[in-house]
Structure 1
Amino acid sequence: MSDIINQEMATSPLANERISSIHALIDTVPDAMIVIDSRSSIVSFSKGAEKMFGYDETEVLGENVRILMPPPDREAHDGYIHDYLATGIRKIIGIGRVTTARRSDGTTFPITLSVGEMVIGNSRLFTGFIRDMSEQRETERQLHVLQAELAHVSRITSMGTLANSLAHELNQPLTAVANYVEAAKDLLDDPTAGHLALVRDALSECAAEALRAGTIIHRLREFIMRGDTVREIASLSRLVREATALALVNGDGRDVDFSSQLDPSCDLVLVVPVQIQQVLVNLIRNALEAMADSATKRIIISSEAIEGGKVSVCVSDSGPGLDPHIAERLFHPFMSTKASGMGLGLSICHTIINAHGGKIGARPSDMGGTVFTFTLASANMEDADE
């Protein structure tokens, strides 16, 4: 330490050892620590201060601390100390402030300054703790850059998720188109009048499925952009019938006991039809895949009116059921019950049903498998009035 501290404290070898230890400890602090006396003379200058200001301690010991300040603080500093010693009113001590400091080369930089006071023997000393804010600003700049990069990654991820979602949703109508085309090609090998009529039907179905694919793209784009989607009154039994035909187009329904138990009194629902069809297709195909190795294969789609002007729709299967650990995060993106699944289908279902003001969930079914239940707004006047 300085001669002042040495004079007050170094009364024994043990004291000298303690002083050296304190100074060594101060030098480990990355921020600058500067000790001055009541005359503003520097009595200690840490390694952090040397690095920050560009001075060696030997150059500044005994110098007025004003050499580390630019105008107007340079001229006013001694007055600050004098006023405090005369009045005892603290303006900086124990409070801290943001100010500007000056390096040995004359450059200035922003700092946060905190000042503490201590009394050693008959001497009053002030310790300044200084942090270079220009480093903080550089850190903030780097954080802004990182945030921009993360935003870019987020956009890329969103585009990837959208692409995966589209692939998932378009798989069914495109598969149907391919199957109808293959069937038409086979029929043309024997172009009888009856076969040509079937070819026309197949091509008509191809056109319908292609339009369905276009509608899916249009509706999904609106949905993701949070644009207004037009809901309409639709027949739930019709949505179930069409979704079932679409889900079974590959012949995956072989040996499956499929039945519907729809309540005709709550058939009308207020929905975006193509989106609800996609929910039904996803749930039916999930049920078919879950029962792939089951001895008994059964799917039941049912509906009933519930409180609040809602219709509850259930898709039940006789598969192996859900792992409880998976069930907790079943509707999260990229959480799949299938080894090769993308985990987007149920997440899409969840998003669509939520957008319709409904809820979707899963529980064990009475058949030993799983029942997925979701709610829709009823369009029946008597239900809406309840």
Structure 2
Amino acid sequence: MADPLSDLWRVDTSDFQDSDSLQSILTSILRSVPDAMIVIDDSGVIMAFSLAAETLFGYKASDVVGKNINCLMTETDRVHHDQYIRNYLVTGERQIIGIGRIVEARLANGDSIPVELKIGEAAIGDRKLFTGFIRDITERQANIHRISELQAEIGNFSRLSAVGTMASAMAHELNQPLTAVANYLEAARDMLDAPSADDLAMVQEALTAAAEQSIRAGQIVRRLRDYVSRGELDLRPVDLKAVIDDAVTIAKVGIDGPLARVVVRMEDPEVRVLADRLQLRQVFANLIRNAIEALSETETPQIWIHTRHADGETAIQVRDNGPGLSEELIHSPFDAFQTTKANGMGLGLSICQTIIEAHGSTIEVSSQPGAGAAFTFTLRTAIEVTE
């Protein structure tokens, strides 16, 4: 019987006199390919398991060949994987093939680790084979998380320094007008104890002066508020997919329990947008993490990130299939200090709105009870200049 994997490999077989020689080549490849490699058939059964896969998962090839691939998955993906294959075979719609994504893998010892999964396919007669290349990204995620923590610490230190400077400036700037208001009002009060015609005229002047100083104090507060809200953006062309991938990784850090499946569907996976990379990543991380937490009790938690392009802009939507926004949030979701989380501050969506508006756009939300929530915004598409 011919080796079912032989057609999977584009190898010049003219120098091989028998199938044993070809099998030796294929076996050598399975033992030498640097990333873990697993081949399954269209029913999800494992047909080949590379040496690197043995090292990564802790199984021998003989332990898993012939078993369904879901034995290497966590509960979240295991219950849905066979259905994903059936859907693809029926509809032809690719959700991961040729695209890749980050998933959780289950090891022989029961532990789970984050891995980057890329899948290719091959047709053999009427059947399809799928080859998965798996790379452990535990260290990468740890580094990203550590960098994110350091950036947060630097950001917090900068904000605290700015708050201290601002508080000092406000105290200095507001001291004069507020002191003047108090003095004018105290003088007017004293003159009203036994007012004469002249005293009433002076009271009127004192109240007018107090009103002027109160207006001046208001102008100082508005000027400081405008300065804080304006901020500084480092706008430049950024790879949107890379930003989304980083944000998905960051959003999942520290989440206990099953994680929602994040599906990224980009009209152009190589699109670049004009944005401040760090701030845009913060927007995606906030929206994705909010969705993950909202989906904690959803039976089949999924998050979709869609992008499409028109008229020099890239429209972006982050949507989930959760319970939708609560009554507290549905009417004014972006107001600061609104939260239904026990440990939340209610600033995540407000920060998202501030960042998106600083990019010259707006963020909108639509939600129906039991049908999830969708956040939509646009960014300017970066125009590549060619010489």
TM-score, shorter chain, exceeding 0.5: no
TM-score, normalised relative to structure 1: 0.43
TM-score, normalised relative to structure 2: 0.43
- Bigger Rg, which one: 1
